[in-house]
Amino acid sequence: MTDISKRLEQTLRSAIQKNPILPVKVADGILVGEAKIVSDGAIKHIWLRTHLIYKEVSLNAVAIKLANLLATGNQSITADKLYRADQEYGRWFIDSQLLRAQYQSAIKAKDHDRADMLWARYCDSKDRTILAKKKAEHLAAF
């Protein structure tokens, strides 16, 4: 009998890992099993029951994947790696937006040398933002 229950447990674990828990919209966020995604503007915070586990997650796909990992009990190195990739994306995104705003103010001030320098930095930051987003979304896909 114990052999049958072990096989059943293995089958259930395999099914849970292959089929993520579907998110459900609730009044104060999105519930994924016992994990909850709470939006704060453009960023999200992920709670497991009453504990804040991941704060300031930028990408929706990453937030849902992290919540699924928490809900299924698979909080592993993969989840932390995914969170770090999302944080890197968030830093580059903010950097690119700040550079873009500085570029626009330099154009208004007719400081063309500074504007050229800021535009080059903005383009670099934007490229890094795109790469960081692709990396985070790639990690979230698995």
Tell me the two tokens of residue 132.
Answer: 């960081």
Same domain for 68 and 28: yes
In the block, which residue shows the tokens 């700040």? Answer: 98
Same domain for 71 and 4: yes
For 75-99, the pLDDT digits (tens) are: 677 888 999 999 999 999 999 999 9
Consecutive 10-residue averages of pLDDT for the chain (142 residues): 62 56 85 90 90 93 90 80 96 97 97 96 97 94 80
Same domain for 35 and 101: no
CB-based contacts of 98, cutoff 8 Å, min separation 6: none
Range of the domain at 58: 1-75
pTM of the model: 0.79
Q: Which of 75, 90, 120 finishes a domain?
A: 75
How many domains in the chain? 2
Q: Are 46 and 63 in contact (CB under 8 A)?
A: yes
